[in-house]
Amino acid sequence: MKRRIVLLGPPASGKGTQAERLAARYHIPAASTGELLRRERARGTALGREADAWTKRGQFFPDEIALRVVRQWLATCGTKAFLLDGFPRTLGQAVAFDAELLAHRAELDAVFYLALSDEAIRARVAMRITCARCGASFSVSLHGVNEGSACPACGEKLVRRGDDRPEALEERLAQHRRHTEPVIDFYREAGRLIEIDAAADRDTVFAKLCESIEEAVPA
Protein backbone atom coordinates (compact mmCIF):
# COMPACT_ATOMS: atom_id res chain seq x y z
CA MET A 1 0.00 0.00 0.00
CA LYS A 2 1.16 3.53 -0.71
CA ARG A 3 2.03 5.32 2.55
CA ARG A 4 4.20 8.31 1.54
CA ILE A 5 1.78 10.48 -0.38
CA VAL A 6 1.55 13.99 -1.81
CA LEU A 7 -1.86 15.42 -2.74
CA LEU A 8 -1.74 18.33 -5.18
CA GLY A 9 -4.36 20.40 -6.95
CA PRO A 10 -5.47 23.97 -7.69
CA PRO A 11 -7.45 26.05 -5.16
CA ALA A 12 -10.84 24.53 -4.18
CA SER A 13 -10.04 21.15 -5.73
CA GLY A 14 -10.86 19.43 -2.43
CA LYS A 15 -7.33 18.65 -1.25
CA GLY A 16 -8.02 19.42 2.40
CA THR A 17 -11.24 17.39 2.56
CA GLN A 18 -9.71 14.38 0.84
CA ALA A 19 -6.52 14.54 2.91
CA GLU A 20 -8.56 14.51 6.12
CA ARG A 21 -10.61 11.50 4.98
CA LEU A 22 -7.57 9.57 3.79
CA ALA A 23 -5.65 10.25 7.00
CA ALA A 24 -8.57 8.93 9.06
CA ARG A 25 -9.07 5.83 6.92
CA TYR A 26 -5.43 4.77 6.70
CA HIS A 27 -4.11 6.25 9.97
CA ILE A 28 -1.49 8.29 8.14
CA PRO A 29 -0.25 11.60 9.62
CA ALA A 30 -1.41 14.42 7.35
CA ALA A 31 -0.72 18.14 7.12
CA SER A 32 -0.68 21.05 4.70
CA THR A 33 1.80 23.89 4.70
CA GLY A 34 -1.15 26.29 4.89
CA GLU A 35 -2.51 24.56 7.99
CA LEU A 36 0.91 24.39 9.65
CA LEU A 37 1.56 28.05 8.95
CA ARG A 38 -1.91 29.06 10.19
CA ARG A 39 -0.97 27.43 13.48
CA GLU A 40 2.21 29.51 13.50
CA ARG A 41 0.13 32.63 12.80
CA ALA A 42 -2.28 31.77 15.65
CA ARG A 43 0.71 31.44 17.97
CA GLY A 44 1.92 34.84 16.82
CA THR A 45 5.30 33.61 15.57
CA ALA A 46 7.43 35.56 13.10
CA LEU A 47 7.18 32.63 10.66
CA GLY A 48 3.39 32.72 10.79
CA ARG A 49 3.21 36.48 10.25
CA GLU A 50 5.63 36.35 7.34
CA ALA A 51 3.70 33.56 5.57
CA ASP A 52 0.36 35.31 6.19
CA ALA A 53 1.59 38.46 4.47
CA TRP A 54 2.23 36.43 1.30
CA THR A 55 -1.03 34.45 1.31
CA LYS A 56 -3.19 37.55 1.84
CA ARG A 57 -1.84 38.82 -1.46
CA GLY A 58 -2.71 35.49 -3.11
CA GLN A 59 0.96 34.67 -3.55
CA PHE A 60 2.95 31.57 -2.66
CA PHE A 61 5.29 31.99 0.28
CA PRO A 62 9.00 31.46 -0.47
CA ASP A 63 10.34 27.92 -0.80
CA GLU A 64 12.47 28.28 2.32
CA ILE A 65 9.40 28.95 4.50
CA ALA A 66 7.49 25.95 3.12
CA LEU A 67 10.46 23.61 3.44
CA ARG A 68 11.19 24.78 6.98
CA VAL A 69 7.68 24.13 8.28
CA VAL A 70 7.43 20.73 6.53
CA ARG A 71 10.85 19.73 7.84
CA GLN A 72 9.75 20.58 11.38
CA TRP A 73 6.58 18.53 10.99
CA LEU A 74 8.37 15.46 9.55
CA ALA A 75 10.84 15.59 12.43
CA THR A 76 7.85 14.81 14.65
CA CYS A 77 5.91 12.26 12.57
CA GLY A 78 8.80 10.65 10.68
CA THR A 79 9.11 9.62 7.03
CA LYS A 80 7.68 6.08 7.21
CA ALA A 81 4.14 7.28 6.43
CA PHE A 82 2.79 10.75 5.74
CA LEU A 83 0.30 12.64 3.60
CA LEU A 84 1.18 16.17 2.50
CA ASP A 85 -1.67 18.33 1.22
CA GLY A 86 -0.59 20.95 -1.31
CA PHE A 87 3.15 20.51 -0.91
CA PRO A 88 5.44 20.87 -2.80
CA ARG A 89 3.99 23.83 -4.71
CA THR A 90 7.06 24.85 -6.70
CA LEU A 91 9.69 22.98 -8.66
CA GLY A 92 12.34 24.16 -6.21
CA GLN A 93 10.39 22.69 -3.31
CA ALA A 94 9.88 19.41 -5.19
CA VAL A 95 13.58 18.99 -6.01
CA ALA A 96 14.68 19.88 -2.47
CA PHE A 97 12.06 17.62 -0.90
CA ASP A 98 13.07 14.65 -3.06
CA ALA A 99 16.68 15.17 -2.00
CA GLU A 100 15.72 15.27 1.68
CA LEU A 101 13.66 12.08 1.38
CA LEU A 102 16.55 10.37 -0.40
CA ALA A 103 18.81 11.32 2.49
CA HIS A 104 16.37 9.43 4.75
CA ARG A 105 16.36 6.46 2.33
CA ALA A 106 12.73 7.13 1.52
CA GLU A 107 10.84 8.27 -1.56
CA LEU A 108 7.28 9.21 -2.42
CA ASP A 109 4.95 6.31 -3.21
CA ALA A 110 2.44 8.46 -5.10
CA VAL A 111 1.67 12.03 -6.09
CA PHE A 112 -2.04 12.62 -6.70
CA TYR A 113 -3.21 15.59 -8.73
CA LEU A 114 -6.85 16.68 -8.31
CA ALA A 115 -7.57 18.34 -11.66
CA LEU A 116 -10.26 21.06 -11.83
CA SER A 117 -11.06 23.78 -14.38
CA ASP A 118 -10.71 27.48 -13.55
CA GLU A 119 -14.46 27.95 -14.05
CA ALA A 120 -15.29 25.27 -11.48
CA ILE A 121 -12.69 26.68 -9.08
CA ARG A 122 -14.25 30.17 -9.19
CA ALA A 123 -17.73 28.73 -8.57
CA ARG A 124 -16.56 26.70 -5.57
CA VAL A 125 -14.57 29.52 -4.01
CA ALA A 126 -17.56 31.89 -4.30
CA MET A 127 -19.43 29.50 -1.99
CA ARG A 128 -16.58 28.79 0.47
CA ILE A 129 -16.21 30.15 3.99
CA THR A 130 -13.67 29.13 6.61
CA CYS A 131 -13.37 28.95 10.39
CA ALA A 132 -11.12 31.66 11.79
CA ARG A 133 -9.92 29.31 14.55
CA CYS A 134 -9.65 25.71 13.31
CA GLY A 135 -9.32 26.37 9.57
CA ALA A 136 -12.20 24.05 8.57
CA SER A 137 -13.87 24.99 5.28
CA PHE A 138 -17.58 24.86 4.47
CA SER A 139 -19.75 25.48 1.43
CA VAL A 140 -22.61 27.94 1.78
CA SER A 141 -24.75 25.84 -0.57
CA LEU A 142 -23.84 22.39 0.82
CA HIS A 143 -23.66 23.07 4.55
CA GLY A 144 -26.30 25.78 5.02
CA VAL A 145 -23.97 28.23 6.78
CA ASN A 146 -23.01 31.82 6.03
CA GLU A 147 -20.21 34.23 6.76
CA GLY A 148 -20.49 35.11 10.45
CA SER A 149 -22.18 31.83 11.39
CA ALA A 150 -20.71 29.64 14.14
CA CYS A 151 -18.31 26.97 12.93
CA PRO A 152 -19.98 23.52 13.16
CA ALA A 153 -16.64 22.05 14.26
CA CYS A 154 -15.53 24.43 17.02
CA GLY A 155 -18.05 27.28 17.36
CA GLU A 156 -15.76 30.10 16.18
CA LYS A 157 -17.01 32.64 13.65
CA LEU A 158 -16.91 31.66 9.97
CA VAL A 159 -15.17 34.14 7.67
CA ARG A 160 -14.17 34.47 4.04
CA ARG A 161 -10.45 33.87 3.70
CA GLY A 162 -8.44 36.82 2.43
CA ASP A 163 -6.97 34.68 -0.34
CA ASP A 164 -10.49 33.70 -1.49
CA ARG A 165 -11.38 37.27 -2.47
CA PRO A 166 -11.79 37.53 -6.28
CA GLU A 167 -8.62 39.52 -6.94
CA ALA A 168 -6.52 37.27 -4.69
CA LEU A 169 -8.02 34.13 -6.25
CA GLU A 170 -7.02 35.26 -9.75
CA GLU A 171 -3.49 35.78 -8.51
CA ARG A 172 -3.51 32.32 -6.89
CA LEU A 173 -4.63 30.76 -10.18
CA ALA A 174 -1.86 32.57 -12.04
CA GLN A 175 0.65 31.44 -9.42
CA HIS A 176 -0.61 27.87 -9.74
CA ARG A 177 -0.11 27.88 -13.49
CA ARG A 178 3.30 29.49 -13.22
CA HIS A 179 4.75 27.50 -10.32
CA THR A 180 2.78 24.33 -9.65
CA GLU A 181 2.17 23.07 -13.17
CA PRO A 182 5.94 22.49 -13.58
CA VAL A 183 5.76 20.38 -10.40
CA ILE A 184 3.03 18.27 -12.01
CA ASP A 185 5.27 17.75 -15.05
CA PHE A 186 8.21 16.89 -12.77
CA TYR A 187 6.31 14.08 -11.04
CA ARG A 188 4.67 12.93 -14.27
CA GLU A 189 8.09 12.48 -15.87
CA ALA A 190 9.23 10.59 -12.75
CA GLY A 191 6.30 8.17 -13.19
CA ARG A 192 4.72 9.00 -9.84
CA LEU A 193 1.80 11.24 -10.86
CA ILE A 194 -1.77 9.93 -10.66
CA GLU A 195 -4.39 12.38 -11.99
CA ILE A 196 -7.92 12.38 -10.54
CA ASP A 197 -10.90 14.33 -11.93
CA ALA A 198 -11.85 16.60 -9.02
CA ALA A 199 -15.04 17.76 -10.76
CA ALA A 200 -16.70 14.52 -9.64
CA ASP A 201 -18.50 14.44 -6.28
CA ARG A 202 -16.29 14.08 -3.21
CA ASP A 203 -17.24 10.43 -2.56
CA THR A 204 -16.31 9.42 -6.09
CA VAL A 205 -12.98 11.24 -5.80
CA PHE A 206 -12.34 9.57 -2.43
CA ALA A 207 -13.10 6.12 -3.83
CA LYS A 208 -10.64 6.63 -6.69
CA LEU A 209 -7.95 7.80 -4.29
CA CYS A 210 -8.48 4.81 -2.02
CA GLU A 211 -8.38 2.38 -4.93
CA SER A 212 -5.02 3.72 -6.01
CA ILE A 213 -3.58 3.89 -2.49
CA GLU A 214 -4.47 0.26 -1.85
CA GLU A 215 -2.67 -0.91 -4.97
CA ALA A 216 0.86 -2.19 -4.48
CA VAL A 217 3.65 0.37 -4.67
CA PRO A 218 5.29 0.17 -8.12
CA ALA A 219 8.69 -1.53 -8.03
Q: Are the beta carbons of 2 and 108 closer than 8 angstroms?
A: no
Q: Please choose, from the candidates 54, 78, 76, 77, the residue with its C-alpha nearest in 3D space to the C-alpha of residue 65.
A: 54
* Bridge pairing between strands 82-85 and 4-8: parallel
Q: Is 15 noted as a catalytic residue in this protein?
A: yes
What's the Rg (C-alpha) of the chain?
A: 17
**From 2, 21, 38, 89, the catalytic residue:** 89
**From 38, 161, 192, 208, the catalytic residue:** 161
**From 15, 21, 192, 208, the catalytic residue:** 15
**From 4, 128, 192, 208, the catalytic residue:** 128
Q: Is 89 noted as a catalytic residue in this protein?
A: yes
Segment (H or E) for 197: strand 193-197
Q: Is 38 noted as a catalytic residue in this protein?
A: no
Q: Which residues contact 96 (CB under 8 A, 6 or more apart)?
A: 63, 67, 88
Q: Is 161 noted as a catalytic residue in this protein?
A: yes
Q: Are the beta carbons of 189 and 160 closer than 8 angstroms?
A: no
Q: Is 21 noted as a catalytic residue in this protein?
A: no
**From 38, 124, 172, 208, the catalytic residue:** 172
CA distance 19 to 199: 16
Q: Where in the sequence numbering do the catalytic residues fall?
A: 15, 89, 128, 161, 172
